[in-house]
Chain A
Amino acid sequence: MQIQDRVEQVDDLDRYVYHGRIDIPNSYSAGTVGSHFLTELRDKKIFLGMKCEKCNVVYVPPRSTCKYCFAKMDDSWVEVADKGTLLTYTVNFAPTAAQPAESPIIYGIVQLDGATTGFVHMLGEVDLEDLRIGMRLQAVFKPERDASILAVKYFKPLK
């Protein structure tokens, strides 16, 4: 039998296919520095970064160890702005159930003023044709906030 004939047959061979669903609970610890970042975001609507003085890098989100020099940064917190610059973006017109927003979703990586790293989030209150790399953005917080990055509703253009 030629390969093409076999390819055309596979759906009609009446083989049994088992359909399952895996549903397992999980719980994740935000950890030492992540917990502080998220609770300050929720309670004070501020973004905190972790600074490696030696490498002059400000990590947002924060991490407890510098990836360049492996130093333990401990308490070298710095506050960064709730405003920043759009480094890159994409638009999702077909979100899945795991993506918690209405279509289309504009994903952006935002470098907050004072941070070295990019922060992944969503954009709102913006027309698709106005999106530009390098545009200035401002965080919009939800009125009711959990200790989660989704305490921020999205980033909107800074007027």
Chain B
Amino acid sequence: MGNRVAIVGIGQTYHKSNRPDVSQPEMVNEAVRAALADAQLEAKDIEASFLSNMETFEGIYLPDHGMADEIGAYMRSGLKVCTGGTSGASVVAEAFHYVAAGLFDVVMVTGFEKQDCGDTTAAITAACTPVWGKGVATGAIGEFAKQALTYMENSGSREEHAAMVRLKADRGACLNPYAHLKLGLKSIEEILASGYLVWPLRLLDFCPQSCGACALIYASESAAKKMAQKPVWIADVETVHQEPFRAGSFGDPTGLETYTQEVACERVYKRNGITDPIKDICMAELYEPSNWEELNLYERFHFCEKGEGWKLVEKGITEIEGAFPVNPSGGVIATNPIGATPTIRVAEAALQVRGDAGPHQVTRDVHTAMATALGGPNWTVLTLLKRSL
């Protein structure tokens, strides 16, 4: 599968609902400079620049045309990727393909979203597939409300289990200096007292809209040998697509749909000799727009048997000090700058492999980690990282 590719630089901004202090390029510049500093490289060392953003969400057509020069992409090769919610992981896979193919030795991947520019739910709803969605599209929240109800009905789990996931996420977010929502939640009761957003999803059950950016620097194996930073190897990437609007497979109520998550992880596990995912992989950063979806994803990625995802959180297995930590960063439910959200999953997983996650470094030694992404079309993108290949 081509040349080996390592992540040798990681940088992100802090995340917040509003960043009126900076323009979109200035915000992205912060992440670019952080990644360059981490890699101990200069902008001139980067051969190609790959970007990810959900441009309709900010109401700016081609944001790169007002940004490339200011984020170190002036006269670079590269492109921008937009595949919905998965954009920030599709770009991780896309840039990987270029370096693995031997076209470049050092590239930068940058995901960004300045959500104070626009109205994300309005954009998702108004720009929904017009013929079959007009007037009945609900944005992401409605989709995940349906997912929550389907999960609850099929698994026999209770709201308390989703609340345990929310508590775990907040615990991680409070330890993560870059996380957006740090609520200091103390109890399950506190979460169950938050109002309904779209039934049965409560306010605390869903991700925020964040402003932020995240940048990664890749090096080919030969270039990585000369780099200052410890390499984190990209062992594998996978992308699986479908046409979901009519399938409705965010928590498929028909029980007949194939989940892209299962197709994607089965391919990755097979290629990488993973037979017992929560033993062979040491931790995961999942793209979970809601706490209920995290429970669903445990099952779809075969971390447990069907209908038993809630037992993982009940037993504390996915806590920071658990046997298989999930989202020690606080995850998407704490921090969600959409075009950067999946890039952050890869960045956080890579920091865990490096042992550089700081206060939210997991207890278990992480030699292998998986980052996932999920998008509006319910596409799945996976990135498998390893300390050595």
Contacts and interface: CB of A to CB of B under 8 A. Distances in A.
A68 B118 contact: no
Interface stretch (A27-35, A41-49, A121-129, A131-139): A27-35
A22 B126 contact: yes
Interface residues of A, number: 22
Interface string A21-61: 01111111111111000000000000000000000000000
Interface residues of B, number: 33
B236 to A, nearest CB: 33
Contact of B117 (A27, A33, A63, A64): A27
Given A26-B59, A29-B116, A29-B117, A63 B25 contact: yes
Interface string B46-77: 00000000000011100000000111101000
A24 B24 CA distance: 19
Main secondary structure of the interface of B (DSSP, over half): helix
A22 B25 CA distance: 26
A18 interface: yes
A100 interface: no
B130 interface: yes
Nearest to B118: A26
A29 B117 CA distance: 7
B69 A26 contact: no
B117 A30 contact: no
Contacts of A34: 23
Given A24-B126, A31-B26, A34-B23, A68 B117 contact: no
Given A24-B119, A63-B70, A29 B22 contact: yes
B131 A18 contact: yes
Given A67-B69, A67-B70, A28 B60 contact: yes
Contacts of B119: 24-26
B70 A27 contact: no
A24 B134 CA distance: 15
Contacts of A72: 33
A18 B133 CA distance: 11
Given A64-B70, A67-B69, A67-B70, A29 B44 contact: no
A20 interface: yes
Interface string A115-158: 00000000000000000000000000000000000000000000
B223 interface: no
Contacts of A28: 23-24, 60, 117
Nearest to B22: A31
Nearest to B18: A29
Interface in A58-84: 63-65, 67-68, 70, 72
Nearest to B36: A70
A32 B118 contact: no
A24 B59 CA distance: 8
A107 B22 CA distance: 29
A28 B60 CA distance: 9
Most-contacted residue by chain B among A18, A24, A63 (CB, 10 A): A24
B129 to A, nearest CB: 10
Interface in B115-142: 116-119, 122-123, 126-127, 130-131, 134
Contact of A24 (B23, B29, B33, B122): B122
8 contacts: A18-B131, A26-B58, A26-B59, A29-B114, A32-B23, A63-B69, A67-B69, A70-B42
- Give me the 9 closest cross-chain CB pairs, A-B, nearest first: A31-B23, A26-B59, A67-B69, A70-B43, A67-B74, A31-B26, A22-B126, A65-B70, A24-B122
